[in-house]
Amino acid sequence: MTIKRTDFPDNFIFGVATSSYQIEGATNEDGRGDSIWDTFCREPGRIQDGTGGDVACDHYHLWPQDLDLIQSLGVDAYRFSVAWPRIQPDGKGPVNQKGLDFYERLVDGMLERGLQPYLTLYHWDLPQTLQDEGGWVNRETAYRFAEYARVVAERLGGRVRSYATLNEPWCSSILSYQIGEHAPGLQDRRAALAAAHHLLLGHGEAVKVMRDIVPGSSLGIVLNLQPAYPASDREEDVAAARFADGTFNRWFLDPIFRGEYPADIWDAYGEDVPTVQDGDFAATSQPIDFLGVNYYSRSVNGATGNVRPSESSYTHMGWEVYPQGLTDLLVRINHDYTVPPVYITENGAAYPDELEGGRVHDAQRVEYFKAHVQATSDAVQQGVNVAGYFAWSLMDNFEWAFGYSRRFGMVYVDYGNQQRILKDSAKWYQTLVTRQDAGV
């Protein structure tokens, strides 16, 4: 059985994805302000290898060669994010023209190379000055976000036809304000749920603003979703899976597509629930043109905690390789919600890659991509309107709390000399997207 590009509709998009803080570097250049991740990386113990994004892949300076690299892969599109602190160093008010100029050059560079720009407005690099005023826990940040969206849309306008407001609001709220592994590193569930609500409010306010500025553009949001499976059919395990599905998936899908929070989880959260004002759900459930789904793995839930099926293989992040979960997730979303076209906006795996004689034989990552592209095709065959697939990631980059200790790229980055080296997985992807009938 081989997975081929012709297994997908002709207009299906294949792309690669990155994000600003993870690849750009140049954190003190051309007027960029501090983000919460610059602050977080300076706090001892927060990042596993003690690093930060101050240099990263030096993409701020190497972007022309990186766009050449993306073009050489033969993909249709490039998913990237704009750093809010480059556009508004204080998170509000004065606009830094040099920041806008950078992204204008980058977008024009994509268009010149026949690459469709898929822009994400917020991939976690909140201006520190807004965090100083409470960050996403402060409802005002939602309105500052809409103002920032206006600035970007006014400059990049029709050249960018696809705008995602947020990347993974679960990470920007629960992982960041409740679990504390991501910036700003708090551990307060009430704060986290307030942050989640204001992120979704900001999404809605930004969509409202952008509808007028970039009419005809495709506006959406990107969610990291994880299908939750019960460890057994025992009632307590089934309940554990439903709770996991509720807190991880439905807490974000429901406000966007149903204009409400899921009642079971709302009740479970008790006093920690966010303050919802009149009109909030009208904003959060603004009609959108696409849903981005970031899929990496599933969870297997038992009453006493998560289970790691021994028969599965695991990535360098400790995530189970479970491609069927992607198909199941897409079919479920399509069944339970009225969704617009879906893009797989991130899918990929970290493995401990070794550079051997100038090559990286990342066979496990090749198998991961093959299986998940196949799983995406299976969902399409089952009637899910999947419009595209973006591999995470174009190149190795700063993997947040893991620093540079985890490599997700299909292109190897030698951080000592900033060389980019195509791994076998890049070559496989190239054969797939350029219709050279990649075999499975």
Q: Which is nearer to ligand AZF, 261 or 368 (CB)?
A: 368
Residues 6+ apart with CB under 8 A from 302: 230, 231, 232, 236, 237, 240
Min separation Cβ 183 and ligand AZF, Å: 12
Reply yes or no on whether 24 is catalytic. no
Q: Least separation, in Å, of the C-beta of 123 and ligand AZF?
A: 6
Cβ at position 294, least distance to ligand AZF in Å? 5
Q: How many residues of this chain bind ligand AZF (CB under 6 A)?
A: 9
Catalytic residue among 205, 320, 346, 399, which? 346
CB of 225 to ligand AZF, least distance (A): 11
Q: 346 catalytic, yes or no?
A: yes
**Which string of DSSP letters, residue by residue, matches 80-101?**
EE--HHHH-TTSSSS--HHHHH
Among 145, 248, 368, 392, binds ligand AZF (CB under 6 A): 392
What minimum distance in Å lies between the beta carbon of 408 and ligand AZF?
6
> Exactly one of 168, 205, 320, 399 is catalytic; which is it?
168
* Residue 190: C-alpha distances to residues 125, 137, 293 (Å): 22, 9, 26
Instruction: Count CB atoms within 10 A of the CB of residue 93.
Output: 10
What are the φ/ψ torsions at residue 438 (nearest 5 degrees)?
Answer: -60, 135
Nearer to ligand AZF, 31 or 180 (CB): 180
**Minimum distance of ligand AZF from residue 114's CB (angstroms):** 26
* One residue of 8, 13, 19, 345 binding ligand AZF per CB under 6 A: 19
Taking CB under 6 A as the criterion, which residues in 211-270 touch ligand AZF? 224
Q: Does 294 participate in binding ligand AZF (rule CB under 6 A)?
A: yes
What letter represents residue 24's amino acid?
Answer: E
Nearer to ligand AZF, 280 or 346 (CB): 346
Residue 81 phi, psi dihedral angles, 5° rounding:
-125, 155
Under 8 Å between Cβ of 89 and 33: yes
Separation between Cα atoms, residue 170 and residue 234, nearest integer Å: 28
Binding mask 295-334 for ligand AZF (x = CB under 6 A): ----------------------------------------
- The site string for ligand AZF over 124-163 (x = CB under 6 A, - otherwise) reads ----------------------------------------
Asked whether position 168 contacts ligand AZF by CB under 6 A, the answer is: yes
Distance CA 338, CA 342 (A): 11
Helix pair 324-336, 363-381: axis angle to 10 deg: 30
User: What letter does residue 232 receive in the DSSP assignment?
Assistant: S
Nearer to ligand AZF, 129 or 315 (CB): 315
Q: Buried b vs exposed e over 203-241: b needs ≥16 C-beta within 10 Å? A: bbbbbebbeebbeebbbbbbbbbbbbbbbeeeeebbebb
399 binds ligand AZF (CB under 6 A): yes
Rg from Cα positions in the chain:
20
- Under the binding rule (CB under 6 A), the answer on residue 408 touching ligand AZF is yes
- Written as six digits, the tokens of 295 are 């899929």
End-to-end CA distance of the chain: 7
**Least CB distance to ligand AZF at residue 383 (A):** 27
Contacts of 132 (CB under 8 A, 6+ apart): none
Residue 220 or residue 230: which is nearer to ligand AZF going by CB?
220
By CB under 6 A, tell whether 346 contacts ligand AZF. yes
184, 240 in Cβ contact below 8 A? no
List contacts with ligand AZF (CB under 6 A).
19, 22, 168, 224, 294, 346, 392, 399, 408
Query: Known catalytic residues?
Result: 168, 346
